[in-house]
Structure 1
Amino acid sequence: MNKYLILAGIALALASCGTQKTASVAAAEKAPEAKPVVEVTPELAEGKNLYENSCAKCHKLYEPVKFSKEEWAPILVRMQKKAKLDDVKMASITNYIHSQL
């Protein structure tokens, strides 16, 4: 009887060890892919400057990656009116934000 209990315990231990993921494997599976670094051109730098200076007048700035392109679209339209920015300045801000996604 003791042999069967010992064998059952060993089989259970082996089965549970073989199906568990290690912490490093689980972390690697959840880690997002590294985003390539985008070179900030003079045009993108202007958009960043406009974003930081125009938008921060009224509220805290959000990291561009906080929202998707689809989520940014209505936000930018709404904020353009409030900040009284022309289409050229808004295009510059939009290009900067999209470059960071």
Structure 2
Amino acid sequence: MKSRILTISIALVLFSCATKTPSVPAATTENATAAKTVELTPELVAGQNLYDNNCAKCHKLYEPKKFSQEQWKPILVRMQKKAHLDDTQMASISNYITSQL
């Protein structure tokens, strides 16, 4: 019982720390969006839909540019297990995120 409470406490602390993001000025965000616009193929749209529909169930969605490709890899591996996504779905999400970097 104690280990379960400790595990839940640690998870809550990590989750609360992970969801805080520094505020970015609107002008910086607009410039970054205007700088690179990628036309989405049907495969990338499918990945975007999976990202939007599965990831938003548990937490807010992060802009793909928030993390580098190297930072996304372990995040996606960890989230695949939690979201119960198969390898094909995860590849689709990964392709979408990579296309937006």
TM-score normalised by L of structure 2: 0.65
Q: Deviation at 1:37?
A: 2.3
- Match of 1:46, SS? helix
Name the residue aligned to 1:52: 52
Q: Write the letter of the residue equivalent to 2:68.
A: S
- Bigger CA radius of gyration: 1
Calculate the aligned-residue CA RMSD, in Å. 1.5
Q: C-alpha distance in 2, partners of 1:60/1:36?
A: 23
Name the residue aligned to 2:28: none
Q: C-alpha distance in 1, partners of 2:37/2:52?
A: 20
4+ aligned runs moved over 6 Å, structure 1: none
**Could you list the runs of 5+ residues in structure 1 that have no partner in the other structure?**
1-30
Q: Deviations over 1:41-87 (max 9, x none)?
A: 00000000000000000000000000000000000000000000000
Q: C-alpha distance in 2, partners of 1:55/1:69?
A: 18
- Residue pairs, 1:1-101, within 5 angstroms: 35-101=35-101
Q: C-alpha distance in 2, partners of 1:35/1:90?
A: 27
Q: Write the letter of the residue equivalent to 1:91.
A: A
Q: C-alpha distance in 1, partners of 2:39/2:63?
A: 17
- Match of 2:59, SS? coil
**How many residues are aligned here?**
70
Q: Percent same amino acid among aligned pairs?
A: 71
TM-score normalised by L of structure 1: 0.65
